[in-house]
Structure 1
Amino acid sequence: MKIPLSTSSDYTQFSPALLSYGADSLWTEDLGNFYSRNNQPQQPESRPRWHLFLYTDRAIYRPGQTVYFKGILTETIRAVTRPFTKHGVAVELKDVNGQTVKTLKFTTNDFGSFHGSFVLPTGLLNGEMSLQTQYGSQSFAVEDYKRPTFQVAFEPVKGVPVLRQEVTVRGTATAYAGQPIDGATVRYRVVRRTFWPLYGRSIYGNSRPEQEILSGTTRTDSAGGFAVTFLAKGEVLQQSKRGGWAPGYVFEVTADVTDAAGETRTGTQRVSLGTEALTLRLELPELLNRAQLPTPRLISTNAAGEAQPAKGQLRLYRLTPPTRALRPRLWERPEREALSQEEFKRRFPLDAYGKEDNDSTWARTLVLTQDFDTDKTPLLPALQTALATQTPGRYLLEATASLGAAGQPAARTEQRFTLFDPTTTTLPVPTANWFVPLQDSVAPGQTARFLVGSSQEGARVLLEAEAKGETLHHQWLTLRANEQRVVAIPVPAALGETQLYVHLTQVRDNRLYTHMAPVQVATPPAPLVLSIATFRDKLQPGQKETWRVTIHQTDGKPADAELLATLYDKSLDIFRPHDFAAPKFYQPYFPPHWPGTATSGRRMGWSCSTDTLPHITRLPFATRI
Structure 2
Amino acid sequence: YTLTLTDANRREIGKKEVRTNEFGSFTSEFVLPSGGLNGEYYLKTKEGSTGIRVEEYKRPTFDIVFAPQEGTYQLGDSLRVKGTVKTYSGMPIREVPVKYTVTRRSYTWLRLFNYDETLLASGSVLPDEAGEFTVPFLLEGEKAANSFFTYQIEATVTNAAGETQTSVTSMAAGSRSLLLSAKIDRLICKENPGCAVFLAVNLTDMPVNVAGEYKLLPIAAANSSAYAGMFASNVETSLSAWQSLPSGAYKLVASAADEQGRKVDYEQEVVLFSIHDTRPPVDAKIWYYPIQTSFDASHPASFLFGTSEKDAYILTDVCSGNRRLESNVWHLS
Residue 397 in structure 1 maps to residue 309 in structure 2: no
Deviation, 1:423, is 4.6
Residue 225 in structure 1 maps to residue 132 in structure 2: yes
Residue 145 in structure 1 maps to residue 61 in structure 2: no
What letter corresponds to residue 252 of structure 1 in structure 2?
Q
- Residue 29 of structure 1 corresponds to which residue in structure 2? none
- Residue 81 of structure 2 corresponds to which residue in structure 1? 169
User: SS at 2:89's partner residue?
Assistant: coil
Matches within 5 A, 1:71-220: 97=15, 144-197=56-109, 203-205=113-115, 209-220=116-127
**Distance of 1:256 and 1:216 partners within structure 2:** 11
- Residue 46 of structure 2 corresponds to which residue in structure 1? none
- Residue 225 of structure 2 corresponds to which residue in structure 1? 366
**Distance of 1:156 and 1:145 partners within structure 2:** 29
Q: CA, structure 1 residues 311+197, in 2 after alignment: closer, same or farther (shift >3 Å)?
A: closer
Indicate conservation of the 8 Å contact 1:319/1:365, yes or no: no
- Residue 605 of structure 1 corresponds to which residue in structure 2? none
What letter corresponds to residue 434 of structure 1 in structure 2?
W
Q: CA, structure 1 residues 174+198, in 2 after alignment: closer, same or farther (shift >3 Å)?
A: closer
Matches within 5 A, 1:433-448: 433-438=286-291, 442=294, 447-448=300-301
User: SS at 1:431's partner residue?
Assistant: coil
Deviation, 1:456, is 2.5
Deviation, 1:304, is 4.6
Deviation, 1:432, is 2.5
Question: Structure 1: where are the runs of 5+ without partners?
Answer: 1-94, 100-119, 129-141, 238-243, 321-361, 481-625
Residue 432 in structure 1 maps to residue 291 in structure 2: no
Query: Could you give the per-residue CA deviations for residues 463-506 of structure 1, whole angstroms, max 9, x where no partner exists?
Result: 234443333343222113xxxxxxxxxxxxxxxxxxxxxxxxxx
User: SS at 2:240's partner residue?
Assistant: helix
Deviation, 1:247, is 1.7
**Distance of 2:152 and 2:248 partners within structure 1:** 46
Residue 421 in structure 1 maps to residue 331 in structure 2: no
Indicate conservation of the 8 Å contact 2:105/2:114, yes or no: yes
Question: Structure 2: where are the runs of 5+ without partners?
Answer: 1-12, 18-31, 42-53
User: SS at 1:387's partner residue?
Assistant: helix
Q: CA, structure 1 residues 435+371, in 2 after alignment: closer, same or farther (shift >3 Å)?
A: closer
Structure index of larger Rg: 1
Query: Could you give the per-residue CA deviations for residues 178-213 of structure 1, whole angstroms, max 9, x where no partner exists?
Result: 3333333322111111112479xx8123xxx31111
Query: Could you give the per-residue CA deviations for residues 312-336 of structure 1, whole angstroms, max 9, x where no partner exists?
Result: 322222333xxxxxxxxxxxxxxxx
**Distance of 2:131 and 2:73 partners within structure 1:** 24
User: SS at 2:329's partner residue?
Assistant: strand
What letter corresponds to residue 294 of structure 2 in structure 1?
V
**Distance of 2:59 and 2:259 partners within structure 1:** 49
**Distance of 1:397 and 1:447 partners within structure 2:** 34
Percent identity reads 29
**Distance of 1:185 and 1:217 partners within structure 2:** 6
User: SS at 2:239's partner residue?
Assistant: helix
**Distance of 1:234 and 1:264 partners within structure 2:** 32
Indicate conservation of the 8 Å contact 2:222/2:251, yes or no: no
User: SS at 1:438's partner residue?
Assistant: strand
Q: TM-score, normalised by structure 1?
A: 0.42
Deviation, 1:248, is 0.8
Query: Could you give the per-residue CA deviations for residues 531-556 of structure 1, whole angstroms, max 9, x where no partner exists?
Result: xxxxxxxxxxxxxxxxxxxxxxxxxx
- Residue 242 of structure 2 corresponds to which residue in structure 1? 387
- Residue 184 of structure 2 corresponds to which residue in structure 1? 284
Q: CA, structure 1 residues 173+302, in 2 after alignment: closer, same or farther (shift >3 Å)?
A: same
Residue 295 in structure 1 maps to residue 295 in structure 2: no
Q: CA, structure 1 residues 474+124, in 2 after alignment: closer, same or farther (shift >3 Å)?
A: farther
Q: CA, structure 1 residues 390+217, in 2 after alignment: closer, same or farther (shift >3 Å)?
A: same
Q: TM-score, normalised by structure 2?
A: 0.75
Q: CA, structure 1 residues 193+404, in 2 after alignment: closer, same or farther (shift >3 Å)?
A: closer
Return the structure number with greater strand share: 2
Deviation, 1:234, is 1.1
- Residue 234 of structure 1 corresponds to which residue in structure 2? 141
- Residue 458 of structure 1 corresponds to which residue in structure 2? 311
Matches within 5 A, 1:549-568: none
User: SS at 1:315's partner residue?
Assistant: strand
**Distance of 2:256 and 2:270 partners within structure 1:** 21
* Matched positions, count: 295
Indicate conservation of the 8 Å contact 1:191/1:214, yes or no: yes
Deviation, 1:122, is 5.1
Q: CA, structure 1 residues 179+392, in 2 after alignment: closer, same or farther (shift >3 Å)?
A: farther
Indicate conservation of the 8 Å contact 1:272/1:305, yes or no: no
Query: Could you give the per-residue CA deviations for residues 72-94 of structure 1, whole angstroms, max 9, x where no partner exists?
Result: xxxxxxxxxxxxxxxxxxxxxxx
Q: CA, structure 1 residues 434+146, in 2 after alignment: closer, same or farther (shift >3 Å)?
A: same
Indicate conservation of the 8 Å contact 1:295/1:379, yes or no: no
**Distance of 1:398 and 1:232 partners within structure 2:** 30
User: SS at 1:313's partner residue?
Assistant: strand
Query: Could you give the per-residue CA deviations for residues 47-105 of structure 1, whole angstroms, max 9, x where no partner exists?
Result: xxxxxxxxxxxxxxxxxxxxxxxxxxxxxxxxxxxxxxxxxxxxxxxx97559xxxxxx
- The CA RMSD measured in Å over matched residues stands at 3.5
**Distance of 2:93 and 2:193 partners within structure 1:** 50
Indicate conservation of the 8 Å contact 1:183/1:259, yes or no: no
Indicate conservation of the 8 Å contact 2:279/2:308, yes or no: no
